[in-house]
C-alpha cells in the first residue's frame, strides 16, 4: 500500500509536476504524510531525480510550436528509450557519454555554456523540417550537434563525419 502511494506521488509530483494539494486530496493523505513520502522518494531516487531534472531542462528549453512531444512524460520516456537504443553513445560519432563527461570535467572546462557538453543533446536528424518528433530526433554529443547544426541532413553528415570518436578517446587517454 505504501509503495503504491509512493509510486503515485513519484509519477504525479516528480514526473507530471502536479500540485501537492491535489495529490493529497486524490490519495486521501495529509500534507505531512505527502511531505514524508516525497522526502523518502527524494532520498531513495536521488540520482534518478537529478537525471530527470536535467532531462526536464532539455524539454523546457525546446518548448515551441515545432516541438512534437505532448508532455514531459512522453519526452522523458522517449529520451530514456533513445539513450538505451544508442547505448549511451552519440548517434553520429558513437562516442560514449561517459567519455564526453570526463572531457568536459577535466579538459574543456572553460566553455561559454557550462550546462552543455557533458551529456548527449537532442538533435534533429532532418533539420529542414524543423520538427522535434520521436522519429526525427536522436541524441548527439555537443560536438556533432553543433557541427551538424542546421547545415547537413543526416545522410550528408554521416558522409562528412570521419573518426571523431578516436580523437576523443586519445584526448581522454592523454589526461590519464
The string of pLDDT tens digits covering residues 91-118 is 999 999 999 999 988 888 777 777 788 9
Give the global pTM.
Answer: 0.79
Specify the pLDDT at position 109.
Answer: 79
Residue pair 168/100 in contact (Cβ under 8 Å)? The answer is yes
How far apart CA 40 and CA 42 sit, in angstroms, is 5
Return the domain boundaries, the chain: 66-175
For residue 164, the model assigns a pLDDT of 67
pLDDT along the chain (176 residues), means of 10: 86 89 91 92 92 90 81 93 97 94 86 82 85 92 88 78 74 81
* DSSP single-letter state for residue 152: S
d(CA 72, CA 15): 7
CA–centroid distance for 123 within its chain: 11
Nearest-CA neighbor of 13 among 143, 93, 40, 1?
A: 40
Residue pair 9/23 in contact (Cβ under 8 Å)? The answer is yes
> Per DSSP, what are the bridge partners of residue 137?
124
Tell me what pLDDT residue 49 has: 92
Residue with cell 522519429: 135
Class of domain 66-175: alpha beta
- What are the helix (H) ranges across 10-141? 20-27, 31-44, 46-61, 72-85, 97-106
Candidates 9, 15, 96; CA nearest to 52 is 15
C-alpha to C-alpha distances, 86 to 92, 123, 130, 139, 141, nearest whole angstrom: 10, 13, 22, 8, 12
Q: What integer pLDDT is reported at residue 154 of this predicted model?
A: 84
Amino acid at each position: 500500500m505504501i509503495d503504491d502511494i509512493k509510486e503515485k506521488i513519484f509519477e504525479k509530483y516528480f514526473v507530471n509536476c502536479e500540485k501537492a494539494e491535489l495529490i493529497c486530496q486524490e490519495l486521501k493523505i495529509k500534507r505531512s504524510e505527502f511531505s514524508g513520502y516525497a522526502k523518502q522518494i527524494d532520498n531513495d531516487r536521488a540520482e534518478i531525480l537529478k537525471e530527470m531534472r536535467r532531462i526536464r531542462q532539455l524539454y523546457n528549453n525546446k518548448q515551441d510550436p515545432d516541438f512534437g512531444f505532448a508532455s514531459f512524460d512522453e519526452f522523458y520516456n522517449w529520451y530514456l528509450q533513445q539513450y538505451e537504443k544508442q547505448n549511451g553513445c552519440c548517434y553520429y560519432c558513437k562516442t560514449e557519454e561517459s567519455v564526453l563527461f570526463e572531457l568536459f570535467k577535466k579538459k574543456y572546462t572553460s566553455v561559454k555554456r557550462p550546462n552543455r557538453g557533458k551529456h548527449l543533446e537532442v538533435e534533429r536528424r532532418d533539420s529542414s523540417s524543423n520538427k522535434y518528433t520521436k522519429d526525427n530526433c536522436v541524441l548527439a554529443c555537443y560536438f556533432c550537434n553543433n557541427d551538424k547544426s542546421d547545415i547537413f541532413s543526416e545522410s550528408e553528415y554521416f558522409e562528412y563525419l570521419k573518426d571523431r570518436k578516436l580523437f576523443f578517446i586519445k584526448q581522454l587517454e592523454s589526461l590519464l
